[in-house]
Amino acid sequence: MPQPYAPQPAIEFRGVTKSFSHGSGRRLLMLQLFRQLAGHWKQSAENPFYALRDISFSIDPGESLALIGHNGAGKSTLLSLATRVAEPDEGEVIVRGRLSSVLDLGAGFHPDLTGYENLTLNASLIGFSREQIAACTPAVIEFCGLGKFLEDPIRTYSSGMVMRLAFAIAVELDPDVIVIDEMIAVGDDEFQQKCLLRIRGLRERGKTILLASHNLPTILEFCDHALWLDHGKVKMQGQAHQVVKAYKSRASM
Amino acid sequence: MQSHLSPEAAAPRWQGEYRFALQQLVLKDFRSRYRNMSLGIFWSLLNPLIMMALLTFVFTQVFPTARAAFPVFVLCGIIPYNFFALAWSTGTASLLDNTGLIKKVPVPREIIPVASVLSNCLHVFIQFGLLVGFLLAYGFTINRYWLLLPIIWGFYVLFIIGMVLATSVLNIYVRDMRYVVESMNTVLFWLVPIFYGGEMIKPEYVEIYSLNPIAALVQATRNILMEGRAPAFSLILKLSLSSLTVLVVGWTMFQRLKHRVYDYL
């Protein structure tokens, strides 16, 4: 279908900076508290640590972008901003469409609730309606393969089972945008293959994917573009294979 | 892509349904609290009954007070107080208890403390049933002023939500908030007319008492249930104004502090 104008990006970062206060001294905390009560939350207390500095990029609908970089480069902070759980100090984060995420897996589950209950709770808090959840539930059940275990409390699950459920919820709720952190650690080999297949399916259905991973072959397979973060700044951004190549040569030095 | 009105138009931060999300959170609180208990929901009856028996024993046998229907009288005080104390302490901890959710979904933060207060409301309904049972057993009758109860209790819930909004978000920055709340609850047990009546308060303190929504609510509830009369208009006015003030202050604090909740969790 011809587009009268270029589609708007599904995710857009415009000059985004995010700082955290360094340390947690009592005086500093109080200072931060009073500053915010006075209405100046954007200024971080003295001695801020900049997790991200002036980040700009965009992902068009249906595209996939990989984040690469060493531990502490700011990947997780960037993902937390993209999922809107954290707010930037400066700049703007714009997301168009419904977003679901697989961050550190299982977070957001309540141990005493059953798998089903956690599924509904999680989905309602992501922003899905009762009807949407009802429509997706069979697919989640099918994908996670947990069967009647879904009627047991999550605390009785193995960590692999929790991950299966978290991943199933994230991919089967039919989001427009999906954010994935280190998904390669999910479950056993068989389930990993299933996840990869599913991500491929999401791509084919035109979903937008933002993925952070250390697994370079996976990135090459799934992502059109890549963004290399280094100490909170963009080191390089472009075609996935070029960025990965540069990252590899740098890493082996 | 759907058509957007302006090129700047982006999806709001969160596009879910408030009521559905709130309902799910209340259900979660409820299920997680009672699923592993042998007595379950009966705990919400047991606690006021024990307090009622204890206070009745002390104030009829140890320090005898000439007051008719003391169990009913004390229940009118203990139910509102318990509601406040429990909702305030669980509400204060609510953001911290839901760290996992806050770090995963961009659900509006204020839903979490509000849900925590609302999940305590069901206890109040059950305890109120207990109170009605005692009222009828002691020969009190239902009167038309009962229609005022939903209004004054409504303001009371708003007051508690205001308190919880303020302390839950403060608790993220200053983790000892929890202990402040616990100490305050102990202080309030004595400063709210639970086992003594509003008429025993010296005139110089009456003003302060009536500005405390908990004390005002206990007074008004007793007026209606036990004395069969409407509470003084000034009492209802003070209860509603102080409740709304607390709500506005709590809401404002929450809005200012919520931006960095993620950072400090």
State ipTM: 0.83
Question: Does residue B2 register a pLDDT over 70?
Answer: no
* d(CA B97, nearest CA chain A) in Å: 10
Among chain A residues, the shortest Cα distance to B36 is held by A112
> In the prediction, which pLDDT does A252 show?
58
What mean pLDDT comes out for the span A166-173? 83
Most B CBs within 10 A among A85, A109, A133, A180, hence the mutation to make, goes to A85
Query: Is residue B28 within 8 Å of A121, Cβ to Cβ?
Result: yes
What mean pLDDT comes out for the span A196-221? 85
Question: Does residue B7 register a pLDDT over 50?
Answer: no
In the numeric block, which tokens belong to residue A157?
């699950």
Q: Which residues of A touch B260 (CB under 8 A)?
A: 32, 36, 41, 87
What mean pLDDT comes out for the span A102-123? 81
Q: What is d(CA A206, CA B143) in angstroms, rounded to the nearest whole number?
A: 64
> In the prediction, which pLDDT does B258 show?
87
Q: What is d(CA A73, CA B6) in angstroms, rounded to the nearest whole number?
A: 35
* Least confident range of A174-188, B15-29, B46-60, B79-93: A174-188
**Beta-sheet strand order (sheet of A11-21):** A48-59, A11-21, A90-95
Q: Which residues of B touch A42 (CB under 8 A)?
A: 259
- Who among B20, B32, B260 is closest to A36 (CB)? B260
Mean pLDDT for all residues in chain B: 88
Give pTM, 2 decimals: 0.88
Residue B14 and residue A37: Cβ atoms within 8 Å?
no
> In the prediction, which pLDDT does B263 show?
81
Question: Does residue B147 register a pLDDT over 80?
Answer: yes
> What amino acid occupies position A136?
C
- Who among A32, A83, A113 is closest to B28 (CB)? A113
> In the prediction, which pLDDT does B5 show?
38
> In the prediction, which pLDDT does B3 show?
38
* d(CA B237, nearest CA chain A) in Å: 29
Question: Does residue B92 register a pLDDT over 90?
Answer: yes
> In the prediction, which pLDDT does B12 show?
61
Question: Does residue A220 register a pLDDT over 50?
Answer: yes
Question: Does residue B168 register a pLDDT over 60?
Answer: yes
How many A/B residue pairs have CB atoms within 8 Å?
122
Question: Does residue A6 register a pLDDT over 60?
Answer: yes
3-state DSSP percent of chain A in helix, strand and coil, to 5: 40, 25, 35
Start-to-end CA span in chain A (Å): 47
> In the prediction, which pLDDT does B239 show?
94
Residue A110 and residue B103: Cβ atoms within 8 Å?
no
Q: A130 CB near a chain B CB, below 8 Å? A: yes
> In the prediction, which pLDDT does B6 show?
40
Task: Write down the residue that tokens 């039919």 correspond to.
Answer: A174
Other Cβ atoms less than 10 A from the Cβ of A49: the count is: 12
Q: What is d(CA B136, CA B92) in angstroms, rounded to the nearest whole number?
A: 36
Q: How confident is the model at residue A21 (pLDDT cuts 50, 70, 90)?
A: confident
- Who among A8, A85, A128 is closest to B16 (CB)? A128
Q: Which residues of B touch A97 (CB under 8 A)?
A: 11
Q: What is d(CA B58, CA B53) in angstroms, rounded to the nearest whole number?
A: 9
Q: How confident is the model at residue A171 (pLDDT cuts 50, 70, 90)?
A: confident
Q: pLDDT tens for residues A67-112?
A: 988 888 888 889 989 888 888 888 899 888 888 887 765 567 888 8
Among chain A residues, the shortest Cα distance to B174 is held by A29
Residue A108 and residue B259: Cβ atoms within 8 Å?
no
Q: pLDDT tens for residues B189-233?
A: 999 999 898 888 888 888 888 889 999 999 999 999 999 999 999
Percent of chain A whose predicted confidence (pLDDT) is above 70: 89
* d(CA A190, nearest CA chain B) in Å: 26
DSSP A128: -
- Who among A37, A61, A98 is closest to B257 (CB)? A37
Q: pLDDT tens for residues B28-73?
A: 888 887 777 777 677 778 888 999 999 999 998 888 887 888 999 9
Q: How confident is the model at residue B137 (pLDDT cuts 50, 70, 90)?
A: very high
What mean pLDDT comes out for the span B183-187? 95
Residue B24 and residue A98: Cβ atoms within 8 Å?
no
Number of H helices, E strands in chain B: 11, 0
In the numeric block, which tokens belong to residue A104?
């550190």
> In the prediction, which pLDDT does B223 show?
93
Q: A80 CB near a chain B CB, below 8 Å? A: yes
